[in-house]
Structure 1
Amino acid sequence: MASSGNEEQKQPPPETKQSLWLRRAVIASFWAVVAFLGLPVWYKTTAIYRADLPLQDMTAWANGQVCKPVFPLHIAVQAPLLAQDAHHLLHATQQTLDDLSDFPAHQLHLAFAEPPPPANASQQVTADGSGPADLDDTVALSVRLIPVETGVTPRSQLQPFSATLDVYYQLSQIPTQSSTSSPLTTFIAHELHQLYAQERVRLSSLYSDAASQSKSLSPELTAQLQRDATRAFKYAPTYHLTFSLFTPTSSPSAWDIETALRQYMNPILESFAGISNFTIDTQVQLYANFSPSIRQPEYDENTKAWTIFKEDVSGFINAAEWPLSPSIGQGPTINFALYVPDEVQSPLFVKGSRDNSWLVPQWGGVMILNAQSHETTLTKEALVPAMQVFSTQLSSLLGLPQTPASLPLRISTLTRIHATSLLFSASSTLGALAQVYQKMPTIPVPDTVAKSVNLSLAHLRQTCESLRDGRFQDALQNARTADGEAEKAFFERSMVGQVYFPDEHKVAVYLPLLGPVAVPLIMAALKEVKAGIAALKGR
């Protein structure tokens, strides 16, 4: 017998309450494991540790709100033959010097090296009324007043290897008590002002705020600053010097470089000892051919010499075959290449001039040594011209100012310049780190970063205090440490790796792992919620 068309379709037997609550308990247990075990473990294992950083202090240093560097230069005046007029002379000179000041942060303070016999026992020995100055290692320059009876006066002579300025004068040029100025005071003030002219320009150019400069720089000074900046190496605590001898033949095969360096190069390296350390190595390369990218030397009938084209100077170094590695040693490598041409191509100069040496910015120096006799060994005497050229090139590559004529004064100027630039560099790095910390909350910040930041801030404060007290060598040491710690904190490995790891990558990692587990749990939960809502409506 056929079944009727309206017969109801058979339904599965109804689910018992026991099985219903069992299924719901299983689903709830899975969600309980996820909520009370899985999520806490995931959060704990993936939590990002971020050490607390003094963001307000870091930003304040970066904005220049904490320290405005000042450079008080103590100048010791030696006037043993002056008695009652000595104090008036010093005061009048200081007043004229202050009137000439065009960069307020650069301050010249005059004081007696040895107090002269005072006309009044209560009279102070400093020109600005601040009391006796500390005239030991803080003295930037000594001025010796020497009376003479002949010759043009007043006149001055700066000692080339001593921070001493001799001023010759006649007794009639000493200012009287009733006068506020005299030819002698005006002369001394202008000499001191001019002596530190280039230093003021370079220090003022380091200030990031253009308004802090007392006046706009001339185009000539601006061009000179840009040229010096592109030529010199960036400051480093240690430099590695490589002296290389290249020859296209088998001779010379040796050179007395150690003796030459010890006699001619070590004195200038010792002068820079307070700024940077140096390591040295030497090498000899035989059969060193020219780079194929330049033209071969041509013989000039007019000069009776072989010449290379000026436009080929930049490609003179055959970097493909000559062993000049820029990564030798601890710090940046400064290369000095001495090329001895073949006897058949000697003498060799740059075409259009008699130049046989040139400087390669931020690389080193090159010199062509046209030896009189081609011996197998270059003696110390034969290397004297090369050592003189390399010494000059080294000074330029290290950023040593060209003026004044006194080497100690130029070294002290370079010390102040480096201390200031490192202070600004460390402050800027800390400011950049503060911005990264605030804008990227997902990167980890270990305790080592906080330690380096605090250490950098401490040394920055010491740098500012040392500059204010005129202890520029201490300021350089502290600024060097501050900049190194700031760089160490900014380039922390664990932080740098997370900077280039966006959130999209995290989703791409978690989705294949959690997707197969999360979908069944979510669908089962939704199904039970839907069934519960339907049961409530059916009542």
Structure 2
Amino acid sequence: MAQSQAVADTPVTQPSTQTPQADQNGAKNPPPEKPADVRRRGAVILSFWLIVGLLGLPIWWYTTTIYRANLPLDEMMEWADGKACRPVFPLRIAVQAAALPEPEANHLLRLTQHALDDLNDFSGHHLRLELFSEDTESALTIRLSPEPTASLAAALDPLQPVLHVTYPPSSVPSLSSSTSTLATFVATQLRSTFAEEQAVISYLLSTSSVLPPTSGSSNPTEPRNIAPEVADALSKRTMRSLKYAPTYHLTFSMFTGGAAPSSWDIEAAIAQYMQPVLDVLAPIHNFTMDTQVQLYATPGVQSPILTSKQDLSSFINAAEWPLSPSIGGAPTINFIVYAGNQTIQSQVQSQVDNGGGSETSQSWLIPQWGSVYLLPADASHVPTDSLREPLLTFTSHLLALLGTPTSGSLPLRLSTLSRIRSADLLLRASSTLGSLARLSLSLRNIAIPSSVAEGVASTMEHLRLACDALGGPEGLAHARIAEAEAERAFFEKSMVGQLYFPDEHKVAVYLPLLGPVGVPLVMGLVNELKAWLRRRKERAAAGSEKKKQ
């Protein structure tokens, strides 16, 4: 009984289904994983990769992709290569021949046009003759006046764009004649009148990257050959004149080495001697101005006689003189009157005059900066009459700094300046479009915001309008807008900033973030794949064992 009771009290142990297995060395391996645990671990790894692939990568791609607006690159390069527009300047020339019957006037007009076309070697500059009409706007009016005792003569009106031509009645061609001395004379005078304008426009085309001269080209606007001395003079004028701006700020300063003079009638002098020219220039440029007086201003050259060009260049004491910088983004043109006993030696002045400096012995022009006038004055006040010569000199220098042609009457020179500025702005805007197109093609990772695309579209629209209206005031207005829009698009702040953010910076930013996150994900996926392959091999081996049994 006692023995049976002891057997009954002994606990009965059931055999385990997960008995640890021993390897060949006798070491025990961990028990095999349950299928549910394997599936759970695979689901966890798969969920992480799904979050990364379906949510993380799209968000990263959306937030880091550089926006590039679509630009019409082909059209932009056509403007840059000069294929979209051929700069042609059609100028209407009105012929007023009140003393001639209409048939004879029309015949003289045809002969003059033929003679003019034969003389013109730059067909991009069209001079078209027509009979005078009150309703027609013309660049120049030719007034033919018969003088029985006079020979052929021509003179430009100094106050308006009119060419007065006097001729003897015997020089009028008959209706059956094919040649005429009067027609040849008028054509020669017209060619001489617009020769400087043609040379300047041809020089702009030859030096621009938009229309490079090509030998053997049939392009009617291909620049004509310019004499070396003419090209050198135009190059000096270009280097002397200021870059085009819609607005300039004029600063009139009077400096004196002592306590007198301490006041001047500059406002009245500007209104009387300079304002008429500023009013004529208003369609091309706007002007703002201020004045100042500085006492005890010591010049950079202490000698009262300026004997060399070095003295002229060192005369401005920029370290101590309060010269105004550009105000409101507009370039400043400085006009300085120095009241003292300084004079310029005649030899130096002749060199300055030959370089296009001044008409008097008391002033000189500083390229792309302004002008200086030495005024002998000992009184405490400078009246308006004493400022007549300085203001007239400043007016002449202002026209030179703006790039105004030197030949012809003032109205004709200003209309020529308008056409030259139109051509210059059109070429500069076209060149800027080409630079922007090449930049976007060479830098694929640069951002192109929508404002740049809008600026390019506006530029090309105004360029087309300017090209259609070259030679008139509308052409200048559209060319001005096109150049401003092209510059604004090219120097867009958000786009320029990408130039200084190379790919190396992106790698340096992403590596510290992707390393700690990516390594566990990749290693977990690799280990799970290895375990899956191992289990697959084990099942294959177990299946083969069963087949053998």
Report the TM range for the smaller structure's normalisation.
0.7 to 0.9
- Aligned equivalents of 1:54 and 1:213: distance in 2? 26
Q: Does 1:106 align with 2:125?
A: yes
SS at match of 2:94: strand
Q: Which of these residues, 357, 363, 367, is aligned with residue 369 of structure 2? A: 363
1:497-516 residue CA offsets vs partner (Å, 9 max, x unmatched):
11221222111111112221
Query: Contact (CA 8 Å) 2:306, 2:312: kept in 1 or not?
Result: no
SS at match of 1:311: helix
Write the letter of the residue equivalent to 2:328: G
- Aligned equivalents of 1:183 and 1:473: distance in 2? 35
Query: How far 1:368 moved relative to its partner?
Result: 1.2
- Aligned equivalents of 2:369 and 2:186: distance in 1? 41
- Aligned equivalents of 1:309 and 1:408: distance in 2? 36
- Aligned equivalents of 1:237 and 1:425: distance in 2? 15
- Aligned equivalents of 1:310 and 1:235: distance in 2? 28
SS at match of 1:185: helix
The answer for the alignment partner of 2:531 in structure 1 is: 531
The answer for the alignment partner of 2:6 in structure 1 is: none
Q: Does 1:62 align with 2:107?
A: no
The answer for the alignment partner of 1:97 in structure 2 is: 116
The answer for the alignment partner of 1:325 in structure 2 is: 324
Query: How far 1:419 moved relative to its partner?
Result: 0.6
Query: Contact (CA 8 Å) 2:247, 2:285: kept in 1 or not?
Result: yes
Q: Which of these residues, 260, 263, 276, is aligned with residue 272 of structure 2? A: 263
Query: How far 1:347 moved relative to its partner?
Result: 4.5
1:327-354 residue CA offsets vs partner (Å, 9 max, x unmatched):
223411111111112xxxx242247345
Structure 1 unaligned spans of 5+: 1-5, 115-133, 299-305
Query: How far 1:232 moved relative to its partner?
Result: 0.4
Query: Contact (CA 8 Å) 1:240, 1:330: kept in 2 or not?
Result: no
Query: Contact (CA 8 Å) 2:308, 2:348: kept in 1 or not?
Result: no
Matches within 5 A, 1:369-388: 369-371=375-377, 374-388=378-392
- Aligned equivalents of 1:85 and 1:288: distance in 2? 68
SS at match of 2:347: coil
1:181-214 residue CA offsets vs partner (Å, 9 max, x unmatched):
2221111110001110010011112223223545
Q: Does 1:502 align with 2:520?
A: no
The answer for the alignment partner of 2:405 in structure 1 is: 401
SS at match of 1:249: coil
1:393-449 residue CA offsets vs partner (Å, 9 max, x unmatched):
101000000112x11111111111111111111111112222222332322222222
Write the letter of the residue equivalent to 2:44: V
Query: Contact (CA 8 Å) 1:310, 1:350: kept in 2 or not?
Result: no
SS at match of 2:509: helix
Q: Does 1:177 align with 2:175?
A: yes
Q: Does 1:9 align with 2:56?
A: no
Q: Which of these residues, 72, 77, 80, is aligned with residue 90 of structure 2? A: 72
Q: Does 1:210 align with 2:219?
A: no
Write the letter of the residue equivalent to 1:288: A
Q: Which of these residues, 437, 456, 460, is aligned with residue 457 of structure 1? A: 460
The answer for the alignment partner of 1:37 in structure 2 is: 55
Q: Does 1:349 align with 2:352?
A: no
Query: Contact (CA 8 Å) 1:309, 1:351: kept in 2 or not?
Result: no
- Aligned equivalents of 2:433 and 2:223: distance in 1? 27
Query: How far 1:278 moved relative to its partner?
Result: 0.5
Write the letter of the residue equivalent to 1:108: L
Query: Contact (CA 8 Å) 1:74, 1:135: kept in 2 or not?
Result: no
Query: Contact (CA 8 Å) 2:344, 2:362: kept in 1 or not?
Result: yes
- Aligned equivalents of 2:250 and 2:231: distance in 1? 30
Query: Contact (CA 8 Å) 1:102, 1:214: kept in 2 or not?
Result: no
The answer for the alignment partner of 1:287 in structure 2 is: 296
SS at match of 1:352: helix
Query: How far 1:22 moved relative to its partner?
Result: 2.6
- Aligned equivalents of 1:25 and 1:93: distance in 2? 95
Write the letter of the residue equivalent to 1:20: V
The answer for the alignment partner of 2:447 in structure 1 is: 444
Query: Contact (CA 8 Å) 1:357, 1:365: kept in 2 or not?
Result: yes
- Aligned equivalents of 1:382 and 1:329: distance in 2? 32
The answer for the alignment partner of 1:476 in structure 2 is: 476
Query: Contact (CA 8 Å) 2:67, 2:449: kept in 1 or not?
Result: yes
- Aligned equivalents of 1:189 and 1:473: distance in 2? 25
Q: Which moved more, 1:141-150 or 1:206-215?
A: 206-215
Q: Which has the larger radius of gyration?
A: 2
Write the letter of the residue equivalent to 2:199: V
Q: Which moved more, 1:9-18 or 1:195-204?
A: 9-18
Query: How far 1:82 moved relative to its partner?
Result: 0.5
The answer for the alignment partner of 1:88 in structure 2 is: 107
Query: Contact (CA 8 Å) 1:356, 1:368: kept in 2 or not?
Result: yes
SS at match of 1:506: helix
SS at match of 1:210: coil
Query: Contact (CA 8 Å) 2:197, 2:416: kept in 1 or not?
Result: yes
TM-score normalised over the length of structure 2 = 0.86
Q: Which moved more, 1:182-191 or 1:347-356?
A: 347-356
Query: Contact (CA 8 Å) 1:249, 1:286: kept in 2 or not?
Result: yes
Identity within the alignment, %: 48
Q: Which of these residues, 150, 153, 156, is aligned with residue 154 of structure 2? A: 156
Query: Contact (CA 8 Å) 1:85, 1:176: kept in 2 or not?
Result: yes
The answer for the alignment partner of 1:427 in structure 2 is: 430
Note closer, same or farther for the CA distance 1:327–1:347 as it changes in structure 2 (3 Å cut). closer
Matches within 5 A, 1:134-145: 136-137=136-137, 139-145=138-144
Structure 2 unaligned spans of 5+: 1-23, 206-210, 215-220, 350-360, 541-549
Q: Which of these residues, 238, 244, 252, is aligned with residue 243 of structure 1? A: 252
Write the letter of the residue equivalent to 1:534: R
Note closer, same or farther for the CA distance 1:353–1:489 as it changes in structure 2 (3 Å cut). closer
- Aligned equivalents of 1:22 and 1:40: distance in 2? 26
- Aligned equivalents of 1:523 and 1:315: distance in 2? 75
